[in-house]
Amino acid sequence: MSGNDFVVVANRLPVDLTTADDGTEKWIASPGGLVTALTPVLSAHQGCWVGWPGVADAAPEPFRTDDGVLLHPVSLTSDDFERFYEGFSNATLWPLYHDLIVTPTYSRSWWQAYRDVNHRFAVEVDRVAAHGATVWVQDYQLQLVPGILRQMRPDLTIGFFLHIPFPSPDLFRQLPWREEIVRGLLGADVIGFHLKANADNFLQLVRSVSGVSGGHTGLPDSFEVTGHASVREITAHVTSSDGRSVGVAAYPISIDPTDLVEVDKAHVAKLREQLGADTTLLLGVDRLDYTKGILQRLNALEELLADGALAPEDVTFVQIATPSRERIEHYQRTRSAVEEAVGRINGRFATLGHPVVHYLHQSLPKPELQAYYAAADVMVVTPFKDGMNLVAKEYVATHGDGSGAMVLSEFAGAAAELNQAYLCNPFDMESAKQAIVQAVQGLKRTPEVTAERMRAMHAQVIEHDVDLWAQAFLDSLKKAQ
Ligand code: GDG
């Protein structure tokens, strides 16, 4: 056993494999919101991050970052990648937890792989965690880790945070391995969700089965629930079957605003010039995922152009769609449908030298992405379901001067805090169209009101940043010790 007092466990290790000009490969630390938020805690407490480095059948030796954080890899084979990651995590749990936007596949072989890989992660944590350490497990790929670790290491304090929604009990019950997942989660001392509604779903699930003494629900039946879910403070407790008290609450994740402040104004001006300085610039930024509603927003745009509500010469739509989970069938279908729509819209409404839709199926460097945020008049965020949606918060954080406007789906977790956006129901084409038109017109007709709305959202995001998220969760965990 080694001496790390604070261990973060996530599917991905924050590293990238880079290839130099001479062909030599090197692993380098890659910062991101979660890493930035947790680095101070990790540095101060002999911290260690356990995760998969992102390349199958390859893993670096453990190494320390410049901040003194130990990165400890868990290697996955290509078979693990297919069955644990692409299979159970992303073709079973992902669609189930996003309210069945596509139908989940329930495969016993994938479940085996999920169990095996979760076990392997727990074994690695056991190797690096000091006696009495605090372990924070992240996300849906690792829901069994708290339960396995609890058995292996009762000395640990264990937190779990779910970055995606938790579905209603009626949907969750579909999962053939629901009992094991609930048991796995209840190995934690604190379980965190983005929204109170997610925490309520989990508590309702637990409550509904606790009343069925000796029932045949296939779910553990010997726990009690007290209290109600709340935000950033534990008021609800579940008593697990081994008699421990497990705290449940909501901790809305956010961004690191200091990561976004430096926008290169000349670059933004050049972008505007290239895209048409006089047009209204609408922007979508998403992983190319069927949950994000990219096709539906393009369809809404197309109808608005066809109706004449928007004139093709007055608008430019930029869709940045970062490649994601490309070997999974539903992702391939979504990509085809999106690309067909882009082609169709440009075919119908573009003129030479002015495409209405610019589509980038690429991952852009952060400063480039930020320049797009700064340049955009209207950010269009229309997921069918989203745990939070950091893109919405990043856009708002870039517009502290009150410029810009945002169309936001009611079904994004971010809508709970950013209710000054032009909210829409992406399942309802009329609602999506209306919100886009209102945002475009709001900028022109009622600029003061629109600016006021942006400033209010900006204040919300700046005051409730990712540090607050991490600190609130870790404070709860400390109290649970
Ligand atoms: C999951 C949940 C929850 C996107 N394109 C590029 C790029 N990005 C960055 C964005 C943002 C991140 O990726 C995407 O985060 P989201 O929150 O929007 O969405 P998911 O990836 O689905 O994240 C979500 C989140 O976890 C955190 O808990 O909010 O609900 O689904 O930061 O900026 N970054 C760069 N180039 C790109 O092209 N550099």
- Ligand 1 atom closest to the Cα of residue 386 is 30
What share of the chain has pLDDT > 70, as a percent?
96
What amino acid occupies position 238? V
Is residue 226 very low, low, confident or very high in pLDDT (cuts 50, 70, 90)? Answer: very high
Tell me if 370 CB under 6 Å of ligand 1.
Answer: no
Cα(14) to centroid(ligand 1), Å: 14
The yes-or-no verdict on residue 215 having pLDDT over 50 is no
What amino acid occupies position 86? E
β 245-250/236-239 pair status: antiparallel
- Ligand 1 atom closest to the Cα of residue 391 is 18
Cα(73) to centroid(ligand 1), Å: 22
Determine phi and psi for 412, rounding to 5 degrees.
Answer: -90, 135
Domains 4-254+466-479 and 258-463 in one fold: yes
Tell me if 391 CB under 6 Å of ligand 1.
Answer: yes
- Ligand 1 atom closest to the Cα of residue 363 is 38
Tell me if 60 CB under 6 Å of ligand 1.
Answer: no
Kindly report the protein residue whose alpha carbon is nearest to atom 30 of ligand 1: 387
Q: From its phi and psi, is residue 426 left (phi > 0), alpha (psi between -120 and 50) or beta?
A: alpha
* Global confidence as pTM: 0.96
- Ligand 1 atom closest to the Cα of residue 414 is 29
The yes-or-no verdict on residue 213 having pLDDT over 60 is no
- Ligand 1 atom closest to the Cα of residue 365 is 39
- Ligand 1 atom closest to the Cα of residue 33 is 32
Is residue 261 very low, low, confident or very high in pLDDT (cuts 50, 70, 90)? Answer: low
Kindly report the protein residue whose alpha carbon is nearest to atom 10 of ligand 1: 391
Question: Running DSSP on this structure, what letter comes out for residue 86?
Answer: I
**What is the rounded average pLDDT of the residues 147-176?**
97
Kindly report the protein residue whose alpha carbon is nearest to atom 27 of ligand 1: 163
Give CA torsion, residues 442, 446, 448, 452, to 10 deg. Answer: -40
383 and 426 in contact (C-beta within 8 Å)? yes
pLDDT of residue 225: 92
Tell me if 383 CB under 6 Å of ligand 1.
Answer: no
Tell me if 324 CB under 6 Å of ligand 1.
Answer: no
> Would you state the structure tokens that stand for residue 127, as one six-digit string?
């190797």
Tell me if 37 CB under 6 Å of ligand 1.
Answer: no
Residue in the block written with tokens 């104004």: 265
Cα(297) to centroid(ligand 1), Å: 18
Question: Running DSSP on this structure, what letter comes out for residue 158?
Answer: E
Tens digit of each residue's pLDDT (9 = 90 or more) over 422-473:
999 999 999 999 999 999 999 999 999 999 999 999 999 999 999 999 999 9
Extents of the domains making up the chain? 4-254+466-479, 258-463
Radius of gyration of the chain (CA): 23
**What is the rounded average pLDDT of the residues 88-96?**
98
| CATH top class, domain 258-463 | alpha beta
pLDDT of residue 341: 98
**What is the rounded average pLDDT of the residues 165-182?**
96
**What is the rounded average pLDDT of the residues 123-132?**
97
Beta strands in 297-451 (DSSP E): 315-322, 357-360, 378-381, 405-409, 422-424
Cα(349) to centroid(ligand 1), Å: 30
Cα(74) to centroid(ligand 1), Å: 23
Tell me if 390 CB under 6 Å of ligand 1.
Answer: yes
Residue of 30, 283, 287 with the most ligand 1 atoms within 8 Å of its CB, for mutation: 287
Residues facing residue 226 across a β-bridge: 237
480 and 190 in contact (C-beta within 8 Å)? yes
Strand, coil or helix: 72 = strand
Tell me if 322 CB under 6 Å of ligand 1.
Answer: yes
Tell me if 283 CB under 6 Å of ligand 1.
Answer: no
Q: Give CA 349 to chain center in angstroms.
A: 34
344 and 302 in contact (C-beta within 8 Å)? yes
Round to whole Å and give the CA distance between 341 and 345.
6
Tell me if 157 CB under 6 Å of ligand 1.
Answer: no
Which ranges of 45-83 does DSSP label H, i.e. alpha helix?
78-80
**What is the rounded average pLDDT of the residues 349-365?**
95
For the segment(s) 4-254+466-479, the CATH number from 1.50.10.150, 3.40.50.300, 2.60.120.1360, 3.40.50.2000 is: 3.40.50.2000
Tens digit of each residue's pLDDT (9 = 90 or more) over 266-288:
999 999 999 988 999 999 999 99
